[in-house]
Structure 1
Amino acid sequence: MASGQHSPVHPAAAGLGPQRAADLVDRLVASVRAGDDAAIQRHLVRLAEIADIETLLMLRRRLITDVRA
């Protein structure tokens, strides 16, 4: 990879696995539904540490479909 370019996948996300990412997204969406600001903050901090683009897109889809419904 050329200097100055970034990998599209967060380095810490490599060990996350799709099921663990989905579980984190589930917990975050449930916290948003419940209006639990403290839990939302905790989950967002964790997500920022490990999320890759697929996980972020999954979260976006879930928030659009589940919370708005």
Structure 2
Amino acid sequence: MSAPIQWQKSTFSGGGSSEDCIELAATNIAIHLRESDHPAALLTTSPTPLHALLSTLKSGRLASR
């Protein structure tokens, strides 16, 4: 039996009891992301593609043209 996933709120969520934030959980096989006000909708990935996505977002390469 596997342990329950431990979710961590983003530090950019403003703290407190706000439900408007992104949560992250890491297991031994995947990284999970969810929006706190829609917890059933999950994005599951591994470190390499997540790093590529975050690098692209930070660089602004996905900015609208």
Q: TM-score, normalised by structure 1?
A: 0.30
Tell which has more relative contact order, 1 or 2 (C-alpha 8 A, sep 6+): 1
Q: TM-score, normalised by structure 2?
A: 0.32
The structure with the greater share of residues assigned to helix is 1
